[in-house]
A and B are shown apart, each in its own frame.
Chain A
C-alpha cells in the first residue's frame, strides 16, 4: 500500500470569521463532498430563504448550530488528496466554547487562524493564536478571509498580517504562513482564482499538502507508559507477562536496558511483541507489548524508559493551566490529575500569574481562575510522576485535571 501521511489540522479564529465556510469550500473544491450531502445542504439553505449553498452547514451538524448559525462544538471531517490524508477539526469561535477549541487544538499538527479582513485582529484571534502556541501546534496559517469584501486589497492584507506578526512575536510559533483568501468565492483555497494576482504564495491546499510534518514527533526520548498488563494464565501462555502500551516518543530495540519509573528498577528488553509477530525495533506511535528479562513489579501508570535517557521524577510541578470549567478553581480543594496512564490526587496551591491573552502580560496576585483563564500554577501530587516539559514532549508533558465531585474535566495542563 502507498505510504500516505496523515495531517491533522484545525480552523480557529473569532466568531463568524468564516471557519466553517472555509472547511466547506475546501471539501467542495477538492471534490470531497458527496452528492447527497450537497443536496441536503442545498435544501436547508433554500428552506431558510437564502441563495446558493451555505457551505458552513457541512460541518455545523447539530440542530442548535444550524438554528443559530454558529459552531458550538468541534466537528471532525476527513478528506484525502493523492498526496495526503487529512483530519480536520472545525472549532467554534465563540468565547463561551473555547474549551471545545482547545479539544480540537490538542491533537493538531497545524492551525488555520482566520481573520475577517474587515475586522482585523480581534481578542478571540489573539486568544486562539496564543492557545495554538501554548498547545505547541508547530505550523500556523494566518488566513485573511472575506477578501471579496475589501476589494481584494493588498494593503488591507498586509496591514493585518503586520498586526498579527506584532502580536505573534511574543509567542512561540515556529512557522507562520499568511494567505489572503475568500472562503465564499474560493480564491486561494484550492483554486488560485484571478482576483489577487499580487499574491504569489501557495494556495491553502498546497500548504496543507506540502508542509513538512516529519519532525513533529519526538524521536529522541523513548517513553512507554504502561497501560495494561497481559497475563493470559492459560496452559499455553502460563508464564507470559507482557507490558502493553503505546510508544509515545522515541524508539526501542531488543536488548536495550530499561528503567521502570517511579521504582527505578532496571532490566533488559527480551521481546517486543505484537499480534502480527515479534519486532526487533519499534517506534512511536506504535502500540506494542514489552517482555523484560527480569521479573519486576510493574503496574499500570508506571513508565518504562531507556536507562540512559530518563524523564524528571517529582511530586512538585510548575505548569501552564487552561481552566475549562464553569466552576472556578478552588486552591484549597483536591483534584485528580490524569497524566499519561496514571491518575493521582493533586493540590493546585499556587497561582503564579495569569496571562492576559490580549497583551500577553502576566498578571500576578490572582486568587481564582475562571473559565477560559490561562495561568501558570504550582501543584503537588500525592505520588511521583515521571514527566518531561511539554515543549520537549507533548505526551509526557500534558495532563488533564478532573473534579472528583462531578467527574468533569476541568482543566488542561502543560508541564513547564
Chain B
C-alpha cells in the first residue's frame, strides 16, 4: 500500500472525463464476450491505454490490443507501438493491409495510393477472424462532424455498417451492449474529450508519445493548404520543390495523407499553448482524405471504418 491521498480538492474536468472513460471500459469488459482495443501508437490510443491501466490494474487487460497496419505508417510510431505493448505486458495483434492486398481483398488503383479508406476491409476481416464482438477505439466527437453524431456504444450490423439515421437510444450511462452473433459494437470511451483534453491529460499523466508529435525539422512539399511529408511514398511533382521546415504532427496516420503543421513546439506545454490558439481543426489541418468531400468521413464510417 502506497501513500494515502486525501481528496481535498474538487474533481477537475479531466478527473470527470477520466472516470467516465474508466466506467465505459469496465462495462465493455463485463458485458462483451470478446472485446479488443485498437491501438495504433497515436496520441488518442496512448491515452486509451493509460485509461485501461487505470481501469484494470493490478490485473492484466481483459482484452488484446489490435492494430490495423496500413503499411504506410511512420516508423517512429510502429516502434513506439511495439515498445509500449511490451512494456505493458499486453498481447498485441497486428493485421496488415499488405496481407489484404496480397490476398486481393483490397485492390488499389496504384500502389502509393492513400490506404486510410481501405483499412475497413482489414479491420472487418480481423473482427471476423477473432470473432470480436466489441472494438474499443480512441475516436473523439470533436474530430469530425459525422463523429459528433455517434453514440459511445456504436452498433454495427453484420456487414460492419453504421446506420447513422437509426442509432440506438443511449440513455444516462446505461449502455446497451447486446449484439447478435456476427454483429459488432464499436466503443469510444473518450468520445467527450477534445484535442485540448488529450494534450492536458498526456501532460498530467506524463505519458510518453512518439517523437514526431514534437517540433522537428522535416522535408515537406506544399500542396494546396497542406504540407506533405516527403518519404519513399511521397515525392514532389514536377513543379513542386522540397522545403525543410520545423513541423509537428497533430495526428499520425497514413503517411501519404497525414500532414504536419508548422510549429516550434518542442514540449507538451508548448503544444498546449498552440492548441489553445490554433484556428484550424485537428483533421482540417492534417488529413487530406477528409477534404475530398463534405461527407467523406460519414461514407467511410458507413462502410465499417472507425
Residues of A bordering B, CB below 8 Å: 1, 3-6, 34-37, 40, 44, 58-59, 61-64, 66, 72-78, 80, 85, 87, 99-100, 102-103, 106-107, 227-228, 230-234, 236-237, 240, 244-246, 254, 271, 274-283, 285-287, 300, 324, 338-339, 341, 394-395, 398-400, 402, 404, 407-409, 412
Contacts and interface: CB of A to CB of B under 8 A. Distances in A.
B149 A74 contact: yes
Q: Which 5 A-B pairs have the closest CB atoms?
A: A61-B145, A36-B284, A287-B22, A232-B59, A407-B178
A91 B146 CA distance: 15
Contacts of B55: 244, 287
A283 B7 contact: yes
Interface of B: 1-7, 9-20, 22-23, 26-27, 29-30, 53-60, 141-142, 144-146, 148-149, 151, 164-165, 167-174, 176, 178-180, 191-192, 194, 196, 200, 204, 278-281, 284-285, 294-295, 298
Contacts of A237: 58-59
A44 B10 contact: no
A62 B176 CA distance: 23
A40 to B, nearest CB: 7
B280 A35 contact: yes
A42 B96 CA distance: 39
Nearest to B276: A80
B94 to A, nearest CB: 26
Interface centre among A280, A283, A400 (most CB of B within 10 A): A400
Residue among A58, A275, A338 having the largest count of chain B Cβ atoms under 10 Å: A275
A218 to B, nearest CB: 14
Nearest to A246: B23
Contact of A286 (B15, B30, B53, B165): B15
A351 B50 CA distance: 47
Contact of B13 (A35, A85, A227, A409): A85
A6 B167 CA distance: 26
Nearest to A244: B26
B169 A61 contact: no
Nearest to B285: A36
A318 to B, nearest CB: 19
A409 B168 contact: yes
A63 B294 CA distance: 8
Grouping DSSP codes into helix (H, G, I), strand (E, B) and loop, the A interface class, with mixed when no group exceeds half, is mixed
B30 A341 contact: yes
Contacts of A281: 6-7
Contact of B176 (A75, A245, A338): A338
Given A37-B281, A75-B149, A275-B54, A232 B172 contact: no
B19 A246 contact: yes
16 contacts: A1-B12, A1-B204, A3-B9, A4-B12, A63-B294, A77-B142, A78-B142, A80-B196, A85-B13, A106-B172, A228-B30, A230-B56, A245-B23, A277-B3, A287-B19, A412-B169
Given A74-B149, A102-B171, A230-B58, 6 more contacts: A3-B9, A62-B146, A73-B167, A102-B169, A106-B171, A407-B179
Nearest to A37: B281
Given A99-B169, A275-B53, A278-B4, A61 B30 contact: no
Nearest to A98: B169
B180 A398 contact: no
A412 B168 CA distance: 12
Given A1-B200, A246-B23, A412 B171 contact: yes
A342 to B, nearest CB: 10
A34 B29 contact: no
A40 B2 CA distance: 52
A277 B5 contact: yes
B139 to A, nearest CB: 12
Contacts of A99: 169
A408 B168 CA distance: 7
B30 to A, nearest CB: 5
A254 B4 CA distance: 10
Nearest to A272: B4
A76 B14 CA distance: 18
Given A3-B10, A34-B284, A407-B180, A398 B3 contact: no
A74 B95 CA distance: 34
A270 to B, nearest CB: 10
